[in-house]
Structure 1
Amino acid sequence: MRVGATVLLFDQQCIQSYEWNLKRPLGKLQGIIDSLEEYHCDEVAIIRPVKNDDNFELFKKDIEVVKQLSCMTPISFGGGVRTLEHLKLLKGLPIERLIFSSAFLEKNEKLILAAKKLFGHQAIQCLLPIIIKSNEIQVYNPSTNDYMTLDSVDTQFINTLANEIILFDTEHEGMNDSFDWLILKNIPFDHNKVIVSGGIGKGDVKKAKQNKIASVLVDNKILHQEYSITGYKNAAKLS
């Protein structure tokens, strides 16, 4: 099982987010990546936490920051990749995987297939930001800035076109050992295709390994010494 981290990129700077809402500055992207490499992070998911107010100019500015990265760790990138023009800007970037959310929720097959042609099927990841309300799973759609019920999501479409699916617990983002494992029980995806994130602590790492999850992505709190990547990897070994 891989142990990685999420890095949120907002207005060319990294931020820490709590419960999918509160944002606190963390610093420049290269500095954050350097720290994660020192911790021997298995992978880094760079995500632009954008909603329906995103635009192409903001996207290009963030891409310029990513383009300048020097990094040996495998990187996934996503957030606001909604058209073929967005996709074209990603060619040549130091990234190995692409993360799509609204494209999967809105069944934009043309965009996903174009990405698959450019980067390969193994590079395509689907991000599902999830919350449980009244015992019902709801999925956040960034392009509408609203949640939709899981019943209205074509999970078969996702299963067919995504190599991996990131289940992101939005309610517990930024917390410790609080990922809601009821999410996993109610999502129709094979565990070996699933990545979990949002509130991941060392106890959650052990549960993820027991459930044969592909990877865990720890929130940006991993940059603090008490949450070092070494501790998470040791937790995985002990489970």
Structure 2
Amino acid sequence: MRIGSTVLLHENKCIQSYNWEYFRPLGTLQSVINSLEEYQCDEIAIIRPVRKKDSLDIFKKDIIELQRLKTMTPVSFGGGIRTIEHLNSLNNLPIERLIFSSAFLDENKELIGKAKDLFGHQAIQCLLPLLRKKEELFVYHSSLSDYVPIKEINIEFINELANEIILIDTKNEGKENKFDWSLIDDVPFDWKKIIISGGIGKSCIAEAHKKKLASVLIDNKVLHTEYSISGLKHAIILS
């Protein structure tokens, strides 16, 4: 199982998000990545937290930050990739995987198919920000700026085209050891394809390891309270 971290890129700067609503500035993308590399992450997911309106111009400004990035850690990138023009602007970037959310929720087969042709099926990840309201499960649809019931989503479409699925516990984002495990029970995905994020801490990593999930992504804030990724893996092996 891989252990990585999420980095939220918003208007050319990195931020920490809490509960999918509140932001705190962290610094430049390169400085945050430099810090994470010291923690020996297996991977870093750089996500643009598109909540409301977005534009191609704003998107391209964030792409400039990616173009300048220097890192040896495998990078995934997503957030606001909604057209072929968005996709074409990602050429020659230091990224190995692409993260799509709205494209999967809108069943944009053309866009995801083009991404698959350019980067390969193994590079395609689906991001599902989840929230439980009473007994019903919802997923945040960024192009609508609202949550929609998970029962309205074409799960078969995601299973067919996504190599991995990132499930974010939006309620517990920014917290530690608070991930809601019922979320993975209520979505019919193979656990070996699932990556979890939001409320991840040491005990959550141990549980994810037992469940044989693909990966966990630790909030940048929480990661700095741990010694290193290698230290976490060693602790899990001994537990």
TM-score by length of 2: 0.97
Contact 1:5 1:217 in 2 (8 A): yes
8 A contact 2:5–2:43 mirrored in 1: yes
**Are 1:147 and 2:139 matched, yes or no?**
no
What whole-Å deviation, never above 9, does each CA across 1:140-180 have from its counterpart, x for those lacking one?
00000011111100011000000000000000000010000
- Which residue is equivalent to 1:49? 49
| Aligned twin of 2:90 | 90
- Residue 39 of structure 1: how far off its partner (Å): 1.2
State the match for 2:191 in structure 1.
Answer: 191
1:13·1:29 contact (CA, 8 Å) conserved in 2?
A: yes
The whole-number CA distance in structure 1 between the counterparts of 2:235 and 2:17 is: 24
1:38, CA displacement in angstroms?
Answer: 1.4
Contact 1:121–1:163 (Cα < 8 Å) also in 2:
yes
Instruction: Kindly state the Cα deviation for residue 237 of structure 1 after the two structures are TM-superposed.
Output: 2.0
How far apart in 2 are the matches of 1:37 and 1:226? 13
Deviation of 1:226 (Å): 3.7
Amino acid at match of 2:23: K
- Does residue 219 of structure 1 match 2:208? no
Q: Distance in 1 between matches of 2:206 and 2:238?
A: 8
Instruction: Name the SS of the counterpart of 2:158 in structure 1.
Output: helix
Q: Distance in 2 between matches of 1:16 and 1:135?
A: 28
Alignment-mate amino acid for residue 176 of structure 1: E
**Corresponding residue of 1:34:** 34
Match of 1:6 in 2: 6
C-alpha contact 2:39 2:227 (8 A) present in aligned 1: no
- Which runs of 5 or more structure 2 residues have no equivalent in the other structure? none
Show the counterpart of 2:178: 178
C-alpha distance in structure 2 between counterparts of 1:227 and 1:183, whole Å: 28
User: Counterparts of 1:125 and 1:160 in 2: how far apart (Å)?
Assistant: 11
- In the alignment, the residues of structure 2 paired with residue 186 and residue 92 of structure 1 have an alpha-carbon distance, to the nearest angstrom, of 38
Percent identity, aligned pairs only? 59
Decide whether the 8 Å contact of 2:176 with 2:222 is kept in 1: no
Residues in 2 aligned to 1:66 and 1:230: alpha-carbon distance in whole angstroms: 26
Structure 1 residues 111-168: Cα deviation after superposition (integer angstroms, max 9, x where no partner): 0000000000000000000011112110000000011111100011000000000000
**Secondary structure of the structure 1 residue equivalent to 2:93:** coil
1:72-221 matched pairs, under 5 angstroms: 72-221=72-221
C-alpha separation between the residues in 1 aligned to 2:204 and 2:183?
Answer: 13
Which one-letter code corresponds to 1:123 in the other structure? Answer: A
Root-mean-square deviation (CA, aligned residues, Å) is 1.1
Paired residues in the alignment total 239
**Uncovered stretches (5+) of structure 1, i.e. residues with no partner:** none
Q: Distance in 2 between matches of 1:226 and 1:76?
A: 22
**In 2, Cα distance between equivalents of 1:119 and 1:18:** 31
Q: AA paired with 1:108?
A: N
TM-score of the two chains, using structure 1 as the length reference: 0.97
Cα contact 1:7–1:220 (8 A) shared by 2: yes
